[in-house]
Amino acid sequence: MQELIVALIVLVAAVYAASKYLPRAWREKIVFVLSAKGLPQERLASMFNTEASCGSGCGSCGSDSSCAAPALNLDDIDAPATGRRIIKIHSRS
């Protein structure tokens, strides 16, 4: 019985580590394989944090123009009104 409890704890820790630290493509592949085995895809997708994609709305793909990040204005970077100090690095000749 003790080995079963330890195995369950190790399994939960492995799933947590996989959902947190594996690359997104690997997590999506895990969800695909496990859902093909009969497990609920929606629950797996939320557990492995793979829900946001190009097909479901504003994800990281940037294909939707309404979700795109605003263009960077270089004049705003050097503006003293931001309260940030810019350190410029020059290469030696």
* Residue 92 is assigned to a structural domain of this protein: no
Q: Count of CB atoms within 10 A of residue 90's CB?
A: 5
Write down the pLDDT at residue 67.
Answer: 52
> Residue 39 belongs to what domain range?
23-50
pLDDT at position 6, please? Answer: 97
pTM of structure: 0.46
pLDDT reading at 79 higher than 80: no
Task: Please tell me the predicted confidence (pLDDT) of residue 85.
Answer: 75
Structural domain count, the chain: 1
Contact 30, 18 (CB under 8 A): yes
Residue 34 lies in a domain: yes
Nearest alpha-carbon partner for 46 in 27, 67, 66: 27
- CA angle 83/60/62 to nearest 5° reads 85
Over residues 2-42, the pLDDT tens digits come to 999 999 999 999 988 988 888 988 888 888 888 888 888 88
Q: What is the pLDDT of residue 18?
A: 86
